[in-house]
A and B are shown apart, each in its own frame.
Chain A
């Protein structure tokens, strides 16, 4: 075993202390219970998905009852605008339903476009309208190379995926938009993309520059 792997084994790879015997001995069972609660809450908070019971059980002592831990956390969250909700296979954080209107309003204002740079948005549009298209094709549209970083950012957000290979030397991948793309822009299908003519007219009215 090399030195590096040995170090990793000793440091990061260390088994999580589930039982927390030392803590219980020094500060009592109360402190240990609290530590377990915060652990469970932190993991559910950090997760984007529903956290199943088995995952939570692997974080705390064998004797700890997950349902009791959850109940204690829920009691503490009373009066907060979010709750720890039990869903089909586990638990997740979610906002209380009475705030739905406010959240919906806010998400209308913060449309998905807000999180994109202008160039990212333009490249995404070009791919949506001209798919399947490869980097050469994008370069033809934009008059310059589109950086691989930008493409991989879009791919990382699952808005585009690899399409058919382009019949050019080197067989580069083309890009196509994904289901995720339709969902995040609230489109039923690609036909809901605005007709390019309309967009152009609108842009001419507003004297905006459109990249496509």
Chain B
């Protein structure tokens, strides 16, 4: 059996950011919080845009979407774990209903796949939201009030979230998606990276609804600082995993191996029986369900892919 070469493992420090970004002893002021969010976003920017580094950004955004979905479900009083969300999402046959958890992930994933270069990108977001909100959101995108498009990117994002929450206080997911979209657009990033939803708590939303806009703004800054930190750490982790996955490619003899690897490098998880068989998603290469299972087992054996469910059947694989 061919084994992958033992590689030196670089343990990343728990916090990649300098400690002064997350200084918890500092008083909770807007200045302190915005200093932190700015610093964290800048680190994330450097990580994602380093041409010599090559972070699998599509996979990163997909996984952040999963995190965001998990936390938004928590905001709604549901306790679905990541594993349950994945099950609901991936095991739903076409035409059936994903249920609340799967739908939440679907919505976040749709937002995380938005590219601003595409025409009508806003429709992907608006069509996600409950149908009742459509006229409101259409109007907001068509004629945004000044506060939503002026000022620094963070202020715009906070303004979007506050505007939507004051109208629809129970659509946190929609409000936070709009904040991510506004931030990424103002930062001139090409795609939406879910950041805010990872760390917003119920009490932050309640503060806004009670009229404390300042507390909400601070919470949003802190959320983005923590979110950007998570994203940076995840980006480094996924980059190393992607490099290792590409390195084992020559050892795979199976037809469709390179397409399988391409898919693994852009998806949070794959279910061999649907994503790889009968054809590998995103390509025209055919694969039997048996060879789909085998290639995933082989990659797990080589230690470059993780089996995510720890079940004997209905297994899912991801980096």
Q: Using a CB–CB distance below 8 Å, which chain A residues touch chain B?
A: 131-132, 161-167, 169, 171, 173-174, 176, 178, 188-191, 195
Contact = CB atoms under 8 A, between A and B. Distances in A.
B17 to A, nearest CB: 35
B97 A161 contact: yes
Contacts of A195: 77
Interface in B290-319: 309, 311, 313-314
A169 B91 CA distance: 13
B100 interface: yes
Nearest to B92: A164
A164 B170 contact: no
Contacts of B78: 190
Interface of B: 76-78, 87-93, 96-102, 130, 170, 309, 311, 313-314
10 contacts: A132-B102, A162-B93, A163-B96, A163-B99, A164-B89, A164-B102, A171-B314, A176-B99, A190-B78, A195-B77
Given A189-B170, A191-B76, A191-B170, A164 B98 contact: yes
A163 B77 contact: no
A159 to B, nearest CB: 12
B309 A163 contact: no
Contacts of B313: 167, 169
Contacts of B98: 163-164, 176
B87 A167 contact: yes
A190 B170 CA distance: 11
B93 to A, nearest CB: 7
Nearest to A162: B96
A164 B314 contact: no
Nearest to A176: B99
Given A167-B309, A167-B313, A169-B313, A190 B100 contact: yes
